[in-house]
Amino acid sequence: MDFFDRIAHEWGNVLHWPHQSLVARYRHLARKIIKQSEQFADDDAVRLLERATELRVSLQSHAYDTSALIYAFALIREAAGRKLGMRHFESQLIGGLILLHGGVAEMATGEGKTLVATLPACAAALAGVSVHVVTVNDYLTQRDAELMRPVYAALGISVASVINDMELPARREAYAQAVTYCTNKELVFDYLKDQILLAERGDYLRMEAQRLSTQDTRTNQIMLRGLHFAIVDEADSILVDEARTPLIISASGTGHQEQEQTLTEAMSLVESLREGLDYVINHEKRTIELKEDGLLHLQELTAELGPFWRGRIRREESIRQALYATYLLLADVHYLVRDGKVQIIDELTGRIMEDRSWEKGLHQMVEIKEGVELTPPRETLARISYQRFFRKYFHLSGMTGTAQEIRSELWKIYALRVIPIPLNRPSRRITVKPTVLPDQQAKWKTVVTRLGKLRAESTAVLVGTQSVGASEELSGHLTQAGIQHRVLNAKQDAEEADIISQAGQAGCITVATSMAGRGTDIKLDPQLQAGKGLHVLLTEHHEASRIDRQLKGRCARQGDPGSYEEIVSLRDYLVRDRRGGWRARLARSAVCQTLGLRNTLGLWALRSSQKRLERVYARMRNELFKNDQKQADMLSFAGRNE
């Protein structure tokens, strides 16, 4: 099977070669759209709405043809120009056409993807199709829906957003609108809740009869109207990066006291086990393997404990979970302890995952580790992966600034073709030569010195850190040096909008996790627009190079000036301990430092380690995809959907 998987990946690459001809075709259509929209210039608001109503009737009566498509996009473009003062330019129209035809539009950061989404969303909504615009966090969901609301309103299209704290009636009302902005997590969990409800209702005809007779209140609680048309913003993050983790709905279980005792015993046993002799930690795959000596040692340690520990599988699985909680889940990296609770941090976005918990007792083990009150045990009610969920849509499309590296995976799993779109304006980004330091102490010292110089020059700086802990460590060094700054991480999530609004001011230094990456638009003040623009400083590479590219994309957007710099160390996460291999050890050697090769070999070690991790995670996603297919086959054989 692995051989055929490799062939599929290669064919995926081949299928992406001739995209230039497709872009040329869409460019030709885009120019026709621009010409058509000029004919609406003399229409007043009432006439524009009348045109939208006429188009709605036409689209719902007949299938799309080229002339109807040009007319629809031209109408949307004119509405955006009047309500927002922004008419879609040529490259944005190309992006909209790609989305409407079910592809992934790869547009550089700052090219206006939020506005692009209105083109296919409005066109589909006018045709009577319910649309989900999927974003990566609540902040972007609310922002994008409110920013684009005037465009939808001008065409008579209803729009709403779904965020974490919304109650059930409000959610149902939001999903009932023509266009709904929502996060991937809220959407999938609402879908799972509907599936749990539907599973209790028996066959479809009986459910419909009960709904029509208004006898079944539970049927009326269903939130989604179906999975018809999805536009996924930051498609590489949602469809690929987050596909490693299945989404699970659980309910409070029983046996809380008994489980608490077992979990406490498991965490205590960890202290008696020896790394290297009893177990081995694989930091790349984030797995823990119990060795033969460790299994025997564990059996001896649990001989006098309760009946739970007599079962070999339960005993070994519990200890693996305890070891994982102790050594692979780190405070201020993978979770926060806030208000007496363990809150999970999304490693891709740097944000708190509200009301989420790890399964199989892992969350409770972390709570024991941190000495907080234990939450009740959870029992799984429903689960699904993003891969299986998004494949259910009748029409799926996406947009992102970073998709080239995973274009084969998008094709293989979702049949989505990645099409790069040319820049609207030439990039003015300046890339500063990277600096590689021997250890983190030297790195922070160099970063602080560099930031002091940039602040003296009244430069606005966005500093990217890998975790909450790293952002606070750097903040401490800056405070000690007397350098004013602001910090944006999962602990300051309530202040995000205010911090971002000030980040483009001259002399402002913002230290941030990946929260300031995807979707963040930092507006420059006039002084910076006329000068050097925003300077982005990366202090540590992430596990995926695309996350680094997203941070880099915060500067020099839409033809603005800007610069990018890396100051990293040979003791960063990617090359810490044994992860960097011989390349990192060579770069750390005195010989390399003497010969002046530390920068070159250090970057080679960091990027090689990053690519290796990307391959590991790609294999993990591939295994999950295979398991999903097997599960789908089994469930369909049993006559069930999930």
**CATH classification at residue 494:** 3.40.50.300
- Averaged over 387-413, what is the pLDDT? 92
Same-domain status, 339 and 450: no
**Chain centroid to CA 627:** 22
Q: What is the CATH number of the domain that holds 260?
A: 3.90.1440.10
Question: Does 381 reside within a domain?
Answer: no
Lowest mean pLDDT: which of 108-117, 244-253, 434-443? Answer: 244-253
Amino acid letter, 499: I
Give the Cα separation of 404 and 145 in Å (integer): 28
Residue ending a domain, among 376, 411, 438, is 376
Return the pLDDT at 60: 83
Query: Within this chain, do residues 347 and 306 fall inside the same structural domain, yes or no?
Result: yes
**Which residue from 321, 572, 356, 345 is spatially nearest to 468, judged by alpha carbons?**
345
For residue 575, being part of any structural domain is answered with no
85 and 226 inside one domain:
yes
Q: Tell whether 300 and 341 lie within a shared domain.
A: yes
Higher-confidence residue of 369 and 516: namely 369
For the whole model, what pTM was predicted?
A: 0.84
* Shared-domain flag, residues 117 and 225: yes
Give mean pLDDT, residues 282-296.
Answer: 87
Query: Which value, to the nearest 10 degrees, does the dihedral of the CA atoms of residues 66, 69, 73, 75 take?
Result: 110
**What tens digit of pLDDT does each residue of 424-450 get?**
888 899 999 999 998 899 999 999 999
H or E element, residue 255: none
Domain count, the chain: 4
Alpha-carbon span 126 to 68, nearest angstrom? 11
Contact 455, 548 (CB under 8 A): no
What torsion, rounded to 10 degrees, do the Cα atoms 303, 307, 313, 316 define? -50
Query: Does residue 234 share a domain with residue 93?
Result: yes
Cα gap 160→172, rounded to integer Å: 11
The answer to whether residues 497 and 605 belong to one domain is no
Per the CB < 8 A criterion, the answer to whether 474 and 463 are in contact is: yes
> Mapping DSSP to helix (H, G, I), strand (E, B) and coil, where does residue 222 land?
coil
Name the nearest CA neighbour of 413 among 244, 257, 582. Answer: 244
Question: Does the residue 129 lie in any domain?
Answer: yes
Q: What is the pLDDT of residues 196-243, one digit of tens each?
A: 887 765 555 665 666 666 555 555 778 998 999 999 999 998 999 888
Residue pair 587/434 in contact (Cβ under 8 Å)? The answer is: no
Residues 232 and 371 in one domain: no
Domain-located, residue 543: yes
Q: Hey, how many other C-beta atoms are within 10 angstroms of the C-beta on 430? A: 15
The whole-angstrom separation of Cα 501 and Cα 143 is 13
Average pLDDT along the chain: 86
Cα dist. 154→128, 148, 300 in Å? 17, 10, 73
The string of DSSP letters for 393-423 reads -SEEEEEES--GGGHHHHHHHH---EEE---
- 364 with 505, same domain: the answer is no
In a domain, 548, yes or no: yes
DSSP 19-66: HHHHHHHHHHHHHHHHHHHGGGTT--HHHHHHHHHHHHHHHHHS---H
Domain boundary among 512, 535, 569: 569
18-22: list long-range contacts, CB under 8 Å, 24+ apart.
Answer: 19/417, 19/418, 19/419, 19/420, 22/419
Report the distance separating Cα 475 and Cα 309, nearest Å: 46
- Residue 587 sits in which domain range? 582-642
Predicted confidence (pLDDT) per residue in 345-354, tens digit: 887 778 888 7
Determine contact, residues 568/437, Cβ cutoff 8 Å.
yes
574 in any annotated domain? no
- The reply to whether 552 and 596 lie within a common domain is no
Closest CA to 400 of 189, 617, 142, 98: 98
Considering the domain architecture, whether residues 125 and 154 belong to the same structural domain is answered as yes
Residue where a domain stops, chosen among 358, 376, 394: 376
Q: Look at residue 529 and tell me if it is in a domain.
A: yes
**Structural domain contains residue 93:** yes
β-pairing, 179-183 vs 159-162, is parallel
pLDDT of residue 8: 44
- Say whether both 72 and 205 belong to one domain: yes
